[in-house]
Amino acid sequence: MAQTTAILTTLKKRLKAQGLTYSDVADSLNLTEASVKRLFAQKSFSLQRLDKVCHLLDMEISDLLRGISEENARLLELAEEQEAEIAGDITLLLVTVCVLNRWTLPEIIGHYDISETECIRYLARLDRLRIIELLPANRIKLLVAPNFQWRENGPIQGFFQSRVESDFFNSRFDKSTEKLVVLNGMFADESILIFKRKLDKLAQEFNELNDDDAIMELEHRHGTTLVLAIRQWEYGLFTGLRRSGK
């Protein structure tokens, strides 16, 4: 199943790079767009259908497999000084977040007040940092791995914790697209480790859905942030009620 996921993830990126949509895939397979979405979601492509989609991309299945090898060699995280450079320039950080979410140059300058020349200059910096490869016609090739993450307790994580935390939680979380769950329990260390693995799995699914939706037009996608956390902690107001030595 892991190999199937890798194949379909690479396939979706190739479709996105060529500006092809689920509708284009549906036409090539003589299926409805809903059926194509279901094939991707259920990871149930036959070799015959996979070959037809590769033909749509003007490539062979072997080319797709080579793409997977390239993905496996990609960057998992940045060095401390690279993150510090990005965190120190708010516009560079914005452009970085955009490209990590598969935005194109026209989409970035169409959505934000950044000139084309300025945006290209920032993309060139990301090329130097080896986050992207800036291709002819200013096309963007992402060089980070699908499971790329910011450094734990690194400059980017610190930036978001100090600047974004209060803004993120300034909501009632009562919209259909929002949800806040606060639970409290008494866990053994082993149970905490089990739940941490479940959080890791949920984070992986988040990244997979982000990759799935990257093929869709920008107007149909919305910036979405997920915060996951678990720790041994109790409300500070209870601290003074503890018995001595507890």
What is the CATH classification number for the domain harbouring 64? 1.10.260.40
What's the rounded Cα separation, in Å, for the pair 127 and 149?
18
Residues 229, 181 share a domain? yes
Predicted pLDDT at 70: 61
**156 in any annotated domain:** no
pLDDT tens readout for residues 191-245: 999 999 998 888 888 888 887 787 788 888 888 888 877 776 665 655 555 556 6
Domain extent for 198: 171-236
Predicted pLDDT at 72: 54
Mean pLDDT of the chain: 84
**43 in any annotated domain:** yes
Residues 11, 66 share a domain? yes
Residues 90, 62 share a domain? no
Predicted pLDDT at 96: 94
Strands 140-142 and 132-134: antiparallel
Residues 58, 36 share a domain? yes
**150 in any annotated domain:** no
Q: Look at residues 21, 50, 72 and tell me which one is the last residue of a structural domain.
A: 72
Predicted pLDDT at 208: 81
**163 in any annotated domain:** no
**37 in any annotated domain:** yes
- Total domain count for the chain? 3
Strands (E) in the chain, as ranges, are 132-134, 140-142
More confident residue, 71 or 28: 28
* pLDDT over threshold 90, residue 115: yes
pLDDT tens readout for residues 17-54: 788 888 999 999 999 999 999 988 888 888 899 999 99
- 185 confidence band (pLDDT: 50, 70, 90): confident
Contact, 99 vs 131, CB < 8 A?
yes
Alpha helices in the chain (DSSP H): 2-17, 22-29, 33-42, 47-56, 61-72, 80-87, 90-100, 105-111, 116-128, 155-163, 165-168, 189-213
Predicted pLDDT at 240: 58
Question: Mean per-residue pLDDT for 174-198?
Answer: 88
Predicted pLDDT at 5: 77
Predicted pLDDT at 10: 81
Does the reported pTM lie above 0.85? Answer: no
Place of tokens 């905490």: 192
**64 in any annotated domain:** yes
**38 in any annotated domain:** yes
Residues 226, 197 share a domain? yes
Predicted pLDDT at 68: 67
- 59 confidence band (pLDDT: 50, 70, 90): confident
Q: Look at residues 142, 162, 190 and tell me which one is the last residue of a structural domain.
A: 142
Predicted pLDDT at 25: 92
Report the percentage of the chain scoring pLDDT > 70.
88
Under DSSP, is residue 142 helix (H, G, I), strand (E, B) or coil? Answer: strand
Question: Mean per-residue pLDDT for 124-144?
Answer: 91
Residues 56, 6 share a domain? yes
**131 in any annotated domain:** yes
Report the percentage of the chain scoring pLDDT > 90.
29
